[in-house]
């Protein structure tokens, strides 16, 4: 299936018999454009300033180098986005991250799925967050609402065959940090205001 929310496959992978039932989930398709446009928006003013301030005959290598770096950054971001995916089955999760890392979580280590509404920084708007929680209480896999759509998140607990808990009230990152810091990334566990 394709669409603005990305590409996902719900067909089982045929490996003798009934198959593994692997679903490959991808982030929102519009995210790729957002990343590329952000990098372009940062690089274009620098190029424009170089063109204006420098004599183009003597400084063309500097301008060409700046343009090349901008194009390389856009391509790296695009390929990082294209390789990002999560393969989920009743046996666990294999996540291929934006920066190329691969992490695996066995289904036997998964205690459940937690979904909460988190307030965005300095806003009353919220985003859906999904956490796959290990039996130790640590967050093993996370889906942020800015990157993944809700129908994709809806399938995770069903495919893993675990219970999903939905938070009743929206919360701030500080409240989540106090309630369960082990769900968060290492850089989110400390407040910058202390």
Mean per-residue pLDDT of the chain: 81
Tell me whether residue 19 is in a domain: yes
Please state the rounded mean pLDDT for residues 46-57: 77
Q: Kindly state the tokens that stand for 111.
A: 């205690």
Tell me whether residue 54 is in a domain: yes
Domain final residue pick, 82, 106, 123: 82
In this prediction, residue 32 carries a pLDDT of 64
Residue 141: pLDDT band by 50, 70, 90 thresholds?
A: very high
| Residue whose token pair is 């620098």 | 46
Q: Is the pLDDT of residue 19 over 70?
A: no
Residue 192: pLDDT band by 50, 70, 90 thresholds?
A: low
Tell me whether residue 3 is in a domain: no
As a whole number of angstroms, the distance between CA 107 and CA 22 comes to 13
- For residue 36, the enclosing domain spans 30-82
CA atoms lying within 13 Å on the CB side of residue 100: 3
In this structure, are 154 and 93 located in the same domain?
A: yes
* CATH number of the CATH domain containing 125: 2.30.29.30
| Residue whose token pair is 């996540």 | 95
Domain count, the chain: 2
Tell me whether residue 193 is in a domain: no
In this structure, are 172 and 106 located in the same domain?
A: yes
| Edge-first strand listing for the sheet containing 92-96 | 8-9, 23-25, 85-89, 92-96, 102-106
Regarding pTM above 0.85, the answer is no
Please state the rounded mean pLDDT for residues 21-35: 77
Residue 194: pLDDT band by 50, 70, 90 thresholds?
A: low
| Residue whose token pair is 């810091």 | 181
As a whole number of angstroms, the distance between CA 16 and CA 132 comes to 29
Rg of the chain over CA atoms, in angstroms?
21
Q: Kindly state the tokens that stand for 83.
A: 């390789």
């Amino acid at each position: 299936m394709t669409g603005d929310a990305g590409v996902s496959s719900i067909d089982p992978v045929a490996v003798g018999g009934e198959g593994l039932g692997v679903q490959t989930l991808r982030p929102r398709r519009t995210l790729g454009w957002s990343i590329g446009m952000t990098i372009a928006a940062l690089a274009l003013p620098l190029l424009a300033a170089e063109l204006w301030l420098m004599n183009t005959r003597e400084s063309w290598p500097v301008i060409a180098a700046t343009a090349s770096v901008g194009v390389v950054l856009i391509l790296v971001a695009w390929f990082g986005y294209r390789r990002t995916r999560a393969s989920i089955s009743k046996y666990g999760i294999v996540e291929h991250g934006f920066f190329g890392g691969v992490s695996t979580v066995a289904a036997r280590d998964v205690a459940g799925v937690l979904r909460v509404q988190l307030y965005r920084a300095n806003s009353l708007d919220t985003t859906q967050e999904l956490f796959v929680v290990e039996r130790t209480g640590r967050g093993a896999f996370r889906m942020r609402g800015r990157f993944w759509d809700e129908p994709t998140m809806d399938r995770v607990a069903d495919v893993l065959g675990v219970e999903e808990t939905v938070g009743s009230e929206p919360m701030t990152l500080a409240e989540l940090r106090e309630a369960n810091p082990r769900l968060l990334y290492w850089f989110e566990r400390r407040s910058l205001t202390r």
